[in-house]
Amino acid sequence: MKTLGSGASQSRWIRMLIVIVGVLGLLGVAGCSSKSSTTTTTAPPSASPSEKQTPQAKFALGSPDIAQGTAIPVEFSSYGANTSPELTWTSPPSGTKDMALVMIDRMDDGFEFIHWVVYSISPGEKGFPRNAVPTGAVQGANTTGQAKYYGPEPPPGETHTYKFTLYALSTKLDLRAGADWPTVKSAMEGKILGQADLSAPFKAP
């Protein structure tokens, strides 16, 4: 059986053991360092329903009788029964105190034929019945000088586009019955909170 024998041999074994222990120690430190540098990213919590902002719905004008961009039925023209269409709209902007409606045929030469003017419309109203205006609303004069609805009447064979515009106003208009569109338009200056439009064509038979 052999022994380590000399002190020199024992010294070499001791040095080798020290080196091995040192290497193992370094490996352990590296492993710990790698583990400690690992981070976990957590997504921020979603906003609660009460924190989410809901934009106000768009102020919009529509009609069960006339669709946006679709030909106006003859019934609502001067070639038919000259019936005013039913209109509906969404809630006007906050602070609305009054509303006004106009129906215009803008010609290619810039001339505007006013077919319908209605003002003093309560903000609480949600629409017009067919062939009527809401209680309290006042009709202004159209281009023919009459305070009523005047349906589309382009020359035979021609197609014109008719635009209904509903205005939300910050204050009430103090106007007499039968006021024409220029008068109503002037009274609305600086008071318009928003507007909603509906446009549709009509071709004369």
What are the pLDDT digits (tens) for 109-149? 889 999 999 999 999 999 999 999 999 999 999 999 999 99
Percent of the chain's residues with pLDDT above 90: 71
Question: Is residue 199 domain-shared with residue 116, that is, in the same domain?
Answer: yes
SS3 state of residue 181 = helix
pLDDT, one tens digit per residue, over 188-202 is 999 999 999 999 999
- The answer on 65 and 30 residing in a single domain is no
47 in a domain, yes or no?
Answer: no
| Same domain for 27 and 123 | no
Question: Does residue 93 sit within a domain?
Answer: yes
pLDDT value at 23 more than 90? no
Q: Do 82 and 163 belong together in one domain?
A: yes
Count the domains in the chain.
Answer: 2
Residue ranges of E strands in the chain: 61-62, 87-89, 98-106, 112-121, 127-128, 138-139, 159-169, 192-203
> Which domain does 3 fall in, by range?
1-34
Q: How far apart are CA 180 and CA 118, in angstroms?
A: 10
Give the C-alpha distances (Å, rounded to integers) separating 53 from 36, 44, 71, 194: 41, 18, 38, 21
| In a shared domain, residues 91 and 10 | no
User: Do both 68 and 12 map to the same domain?
Assistant: no
Asked if residue 43 is part of any domain, the answer here is no
Residues 117 and 30 both lie in one domain: no
The CATH number covering residue 100 comes to 3.90.280.10
Instruction: Say whether both 22 and 104 belong to one domain.
Output: no
Secondary structure of residue 23 in the 3-state scheme: helix
Q: Does 77 map to a domain?
A: yes
pTM: 0.73
Whether residue 186 is found in the same domain as residue 138:
yes
Residue 39 lies in a domain: no
134 shares its domain with 188: yes
